[in-house]
Structure 1
Amino acid sequence: MSLSARLGIGFMRTLAKLPLPVVRGVGAVLGRVLHTVAVPRRHVVDINLALCFPERSPAERRRIARETFVFVAQSWLDRSWLWHAPEAVVAARLRVVGAPAEIDEIAHGSAPMILFAPHFYGLDAAATALTMHTARPSTTIYTTQRDPLVDAWIREGRQRFGNVITLNRSEGIKPIVAGLRRSGLLYLLPDMDFGRDQSVFVPFYGVPAATIPSLSRFARLGKAKVVPVVSRLTKTGYDIEVLSAWQNFPSDDAVADTALMNARLQGYIDAMPSQYYWVHRRFKTRPEGEPPVY
């Protein structure tokens, strides 16, 4: 357990006591600094934006890149109050909007449901908001952190409200499907590149992207409906938009389903491109024979 981890968690506990404008102001400054000094990560963002938005001017893409670093920093510091502020403070900063039937079913329903939560910077805020308003068992999948203290802190934060089960990727699909079949919720973030062995290549903004087909497979195995959840960072906290359940999903073709997922995700991103997780090397794994892009 490193001293830096203890100091970092202590800083977040202190930050949780400050007014939101102060937290966001610190995040804005930190984000601008990161955009300047984190050159390798800025390169990843620049490549992603060039591949996905070739029709936009270089100046427009630079603006999105600068904004995305600010949102990275602000959303990370927001975990201070999400995980440590009094419940009333957290609840006042999170607004769930969208499809009434799906919102009610998340809170009170019993049918298996997958919450498709793409990698917008408010993904932890969305998980917190939804688990605050339901007693249904909710499963989320996570990657173990190297520092045990940080790993425990993150898991405890994500389990703070509701009935949340955190599963490591190494535990396989059985406990995930079992949780769904017990009338549970699965908070799923499948829009990432986890390597060739776990992925299929489908278009993402017209570029072949290694994408895990777990949304289709879990929906089929768990007999679950898929409800998208899109989180947006706002001046007063977060808006968590629950969209209508997808119809005729999944099909018998996991690859086609995954391509459809990416196509619909593009529509969500186009509405707020600066808030998507462009710092991830989304095109790290390339089709056979294709050169690396980073």
Structure 2
Amino acid sequence: MQPPVFTRALLAPRYWPAWFGVAVWFLLAQLPYRIQFYLPHLLIPYLKRNKKRLNQAQTNLRLCFPELSDKEREDLLYETLYSTAMAIFETGIAWFWPKWRLRRLFSISGVEHVEAALKDGQGALLLSMHFTTLDIGSAMLGLYVNYDGMYRPHRNKVYDYMQKVRREAYAPGGTAFSRDNVRGMISRLRQGRMIWYAPDRDLGEKISVFVPFFGVQTATVTATAQFARLGRAKIIPFTQKRLPNGKGYELIIHPPFENYPTGDEYEDALRVSKFMEDEIRKIPGQYFWAQPRFKTRPEGEPRLY
């Protein structure tokens, strides 16, 4: 696997604003964590200007939490916006903090589940989801688990380079795969590697089945079971939680799925969806709701966004 390569083309004047942004990001990351914990409140008015994302978050919360009052959903929306803004600072921490400093910020449990798989020589999909703490959780995981990851290439070449470089630094020896590199993922799983994987995106009906997610029929990819079967791999979920009042994080590696996959696409997708829903319900304000999760609809149903 070739490491990401820095080229002189990235120094072209059109990329100077992006490099300036990286420098500012680095400097902000050096602030004490307690200060960074409260700064996101200042960014919420700017996030609200993105009407498309705001509408997606509001629609998703309305669909997924119909039992809440308007005031309760408005409070949950604010918490979601705070978490989205905090993700900017948490990504800076994940990218730029030394490992000794990051280690002081969290506790971890369940490492024995990964160790057992490694002892058996078996690879695993480290099942995650798009909490706003995605990057910092992945960096924390990398201090204890050597794994490969998946990422979506970015149009901005500087950001794409930084994203790949820093994410590969989370776990020494790890590789950040483009999400369409299916063959590479299966090969690494068969070699006994751990691979970070988050299937909670709407990727269209062709590679999905509709299963309930918060009571809404949702296009859910069938690839999780396919990767487990073709890669002869376990499914080991992990989640992370931001603690209140700037007290850090908890990272939990859950027991592996038993009797998975079953060979039934619907039941296998439903099991993943049910796990994700259960975990999101514990900390709904930390999930990234500003995405078109319900964009693909079953035949005959109207668009939701």
Report the TM-score when normalising by structure 1: 0.92
1:256 corresponds to which of 261, 267, 285: 267
**Secondary structure in structure 1 of the residue aligned to 2:226:** helix
Amino acid at match of 2:61: L
The structure 1 residue matched to 2:45, chosen from 33, 40, 45, is 33
Structure 1 residue 22 and structure 2 residue 31: aligned?
no
Q: SS state of the match for residue 2, structure 1?
A: helix
Per the TM alignment, residue 94 of structure 1 is displaced from its structure 2 partner at its CA by 3.1
Deviation of 1:120 after TM superposition, in Å, equals 1.1
Shift of residue 170 of structure 1? 3.2
For the 8 Å contact 1:44–1:280, the answer to whether it is kept is: yes
Distance 1:179 1:226 in 2: 14
* Aligned residues with identical type, % of pairs: 28
Residues 107 and 123 of structure 1, relative CA distance in 2, 3 Å threshold: farther
Please name the residue that 1:149 is paired with: 158
Conserved? CA contact 1:131–1:163, under 8 Å: no
Q: Distance in 1 between matches of 2:175 and 2:124?
A: 15
1:165, CA displacement in angstroms?
Answer: 0.8
Q: Which amino acid aligns with 1:164?
A: G
Deviations 1:68-93 (A, max 9, x none): 11001112211112111222111211
Look up the equivalent residue of 1:170 and give its one-letter code: D
In 2: Cα distance, 1:184 partner to 1:104 partner: 12
**TM superposition outliers: structure 1 runs of 4+ over 6 Å:** 106-109
Identify the residue that residue 206 of structure 1 maps to in structure 2. Answer: 215
Separation in 1 of the partners of 2:119 and 2:32?
Answer: 33
> SS in structure 2 opposite 1:163?
coil
Cα deviation for residue 103 of structure 1 reads: 4.9
Q: Does structure 2 retain, via aligned residues, the 8 Å contact 1:94–1:125?
A: no
Deviations 1:102-133 (A, max 9, x none): 15447876321111101111121222122222
What is the match of residue 272 of structure 1?
Answer: 283
User: Is 1:121 paired with 2:132?
Assistant: yes
Deviations 1:124-165 (A, max 9, x none): 12221222223x4x2222111001100011111111132211
2:207–2:221 CA contact under 8 A, matched in 1: yes
2 CA distance for matches of 1:109 and 1:68? 40
Residue number in structure 2 paired with 1:44: 56
Alpha-carbon distance in 1 for matches of 2:199, 2:234 = 16
| Residues 248-289 of structure 1: per-residue CA shift (max 9 Å, x gap) | 111111221001111121111111111111011100111122
RMSD of aligned residue pairs (Cα, Å):
1.7
Residues 177-192 of structure 1: pairs in structure 2 closer than 5 A = 177-192=186-201
Distance in 2, Cα, partners of 1:288 & 1:132: 45
How far is the alpha carbon of 1:236 from its aligned partner?
Answer: 3.0
In structure 2, what is the Cα distance between the partners aligned to 1:34 and 1:95?
Answer: 32
**In the alignment, structure 1 residue 7 sits paired with structure 2 residue 20:** yes
The reply on whether 1:160 has 2:174 as its aligned counterpart is: no
How many residue pairs get aligned? The number is 289
2:125–2:233: 8 Å Cα contact kept in structure 1? yes
Query: Which runs of 5 or more structure 1 residues have no equivalent in the other structure?
Result: none
| 1:84 alignment partner in structure 2 | 96
Q: CA deviation at 1:246?
A: 1.2
Q: Which residue of structure 2 lines up, in the alignment, with residue 228 of structure 1?
A: 237
CA gap 1:100/1:266 in 2 versus in 1, 3 angstroms:
same
Q: In the alignment, is the contact (CA less than 8 A) between 2:127 and 2:238 conserved in 1? A: yes
Q: How far did 1:65 drift?
A: 0.6
1:169 to 179, 188, 192: 179
Quickly say closer, same or farther: Cα 1:250–1:15, change in 2 above 3 A. same
Greater CA drift, 279-288 or 233-242: 233-242
Q: Does 1:218 align with 2:227?
A: yes
In the alignment, residue 27 of structure 1 is paired with which amino acid?
A: P
Query: How far, CA to CA, are the matches of 1:4 and 1:205 in structure 2?
Result: 41
The aligned amino acid for 1:165 is T
Secondary structure of the structure 2 residue equivalent to 1:175: helix
CA distance in 1, matches of 2:32, 2:268: 43
- Structure 2 segments unaligned to the other structure (5+ residues): 1-13
The question of whether the paired residues in 1 share the 8 Å contact of 2:114 and 2:236 is answered with no
